[in-house]
């Protein structure tokens, strides 16, 4: 019996979860649920971690994409699971699901067992190359002089959407939201000038600047991204209260025994130190960050409060 299975069985006995989990505990597969489609950031993170996690835990490791309903299908599966060999990786934006949808059948924070944050990134405010703005002051002046302009995002509740709503409120400007079905068409229309502006992942923005198709106004972090130090932050340009740190974290099903949570956390931290994982993260503009379950829980509650306020100020109603 390997160490992970032994810890699961010990946790079952200590927590009173019952013999119903015995068969699950004895299986050799660790399932990482990704509630979005392959090729997205949570998916690439899960796949990068796979080989190192498998080595750390001596368990087979599979990525289980359960996409649909803005992530709710996969998250609901984990929230209702009693399988202690199941984990889930999600972005911070999943905390906003109840703000956009009336039918969310799980608690986005307390319905899961927090394990650890794994990384964060930065988004960048960009404009099409023909927009007459290259910094925050010019962008704000352009927006105020061109009321009725639009901005793009891949959909309601994405970081692209939330970053712009927060920026609009802090800078007192008005831009109408155009929600696309995915990142690719949104980015395509900004590059083509059909929509003048959007927030996009910083590594994507930098690549499009090099191609001469967009200009970056600024990054979403308070400080400059360590891998993109030439990109000024919005904060340093006068948006003095602006800071959005798009993070990704790993959670388990509810009521996961503390010893098992700790073992998973230690395995994840060890995996993050693997050279192949480090290289994969750097290529995606991801900054490795970890923490305790209590720290993740506190961070999630603070983040939820921020976006609840932003969405209510924007007068966005759940569907």
Residue pLDDT, tens place only, 118-142: 999 999 999 999 999 999 999 999 9
pLDDT at 16: 47
Count other C-beta atoms under 10 Å from residue 181's C-beta: 9
- The pLDDT of residue 19 is above 80: no
Whole-prediction pTM value? 0.87
What is the tens place of the pLDDT at every residue in 25-74? 445 689 999 999 898 899 999 999 999 999 988 889 999 999 999 999 99
Cβ atoms of residues 60 and 31 within 8 Å: no
- Contact of 117 with 247, CB cutoff 8 Å: yes
Where do runs of H (alpha helix) occur along the chain?
Answer: 3-15, 22-26, 41-57, 72-79, 97-100, 136-145, 159-171, 183-192, 202-210, 258-272, 275-283, 293-313
Mean pLDDT of the chain: 91
Give the pLDDT band (50/70/90) at residue 177.
Answer: very high
For the chain, give the number of residues. Answer: 319
Alpha-carbon distance of 289 to 280, in angstroms, equals 14
CA-CA distance, 312 to 319, in Å (whole number)? 14
Contacts of 185 (CB under 8 A, 6+ apart): none
Q: Are 78 and 21 in contact (CB under 8 A)?
A: no
pLDDT tens figures, 228-280: 999 999 999 999 999 999 999 999 999 999 999 999 999 999 999 999 999 99
Are domains 3-119+246-313 and 123-237 of this chain identical in fold?
yes
Q: What angle do CA 37, 43, 48 make, to 5 degrees?
A: 155
- Predicted confidence at residue 20, as pLDDT, reads 35
> pLDDT tens digits, residue range 94-114?
999 999 999 999 999 999 999
Domain topology for 123-237: D-Maltodextrin-Binding Protein; domain 2 (3.40.190)
Q: What is the mean pLDDT of residues 70-99?
A: 95
The predicted structure's pLDDT at residue 58: 82
Which pLDDT value is given to residue 28? 67
CATH number attached to the domain at 3-119+246-313: 3.40.190.150
Q: What is the secondary structure of 107-152 as a DSSP string?
A: -TTTTSEEEEEEEE--EEEEEETTSS-SSHHHHHHHHHHSTT-EEE
Model confidence band, residue 227 (pLDDT cutoffs 50, 70, 90): very high
For residue 43, which of 31, 51, 34 has the smallest C-alpha distance? 34
| Residue spans per domain, the chain | 3-119+246-313, 123-237
From the number of C-beta atoms within 10 Å of its C-beta (0-12, 13-18, 19+), residue 148 rates as exposed
pLDDT at 5 over 80: no
pLDDT at 216 over 50: yes
The confidence band for 9, taking pLDDT boundaries of 50, 70 and 90, is low
1 vs 111, more confident: 111
How does residue 6 score in pLDDT terms, banded at 50, 70 and 90?
low
For residue 27, what pLDDT is reported?
A: 54
């Amino acid at each position: 019996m390997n160490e992970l299975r032994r810890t699961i069985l010990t946790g079952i006995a200590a927590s009173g979860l019952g013999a119903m989990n015995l068969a699950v505990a004895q299986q050799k597969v660790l399932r990482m649920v990704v509630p979005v489609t392959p090729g997205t950031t949570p998916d690439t993170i899960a796949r990068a971690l796979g080989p190192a996690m498998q080595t750390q835990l001596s368990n087979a490791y599979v990525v289980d994409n359960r996409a649909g309903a803005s992530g709710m299908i996969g998250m609901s599966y984990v929230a209702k699971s009693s399988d202690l060999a199941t984990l889930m990786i999600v972005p911070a934006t999943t905390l906003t699901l109840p703000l956009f949808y009336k039918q969310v059948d799980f608690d986005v924070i307390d319905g899961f067992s927090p394990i650890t944050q794994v990384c964060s990134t930065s988004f960048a405010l960009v404009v099409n190359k023909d927009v007459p703005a290259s910094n925050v002051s010019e962008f704000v002046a352009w927006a105020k002089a061109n009321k009725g302009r639009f901005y793009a995002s891949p959909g309601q509740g994405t970081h692209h959407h939330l970053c712009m709503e927060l920026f609009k409120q802090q800078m007192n400007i008005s831009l109408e939201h155009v929600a696309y079905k995915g990142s690719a068409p949104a980015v395509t229309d900004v590059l083509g000038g059909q929509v003048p502006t959007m927030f996009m992942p910083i590594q994507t923005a930098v690549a499009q600047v090099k191609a001469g198709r967009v200009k970056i106004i600024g990054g979403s972090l308070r400080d400059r991204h360590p891998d993109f130090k030439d990109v000024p932050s919005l904060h340093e340009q006068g948006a003095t209260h602006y800071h959005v740190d798009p993070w990704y974290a790993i959670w388990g099903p509810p009521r996961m025994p503390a010893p098992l949570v700790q073992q998973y956390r230690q395995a994840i931290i060890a995996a993050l130190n693997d050279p192949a994982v480090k290289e994969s993260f750097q290529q995606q503009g991801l900054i490795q960050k970890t923490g305790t379950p209590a720290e993740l829980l506190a961070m999630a509650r603070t983040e939820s409060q921020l976006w609840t306020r932003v969405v209510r100020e924007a007068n966005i109603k759940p569907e």
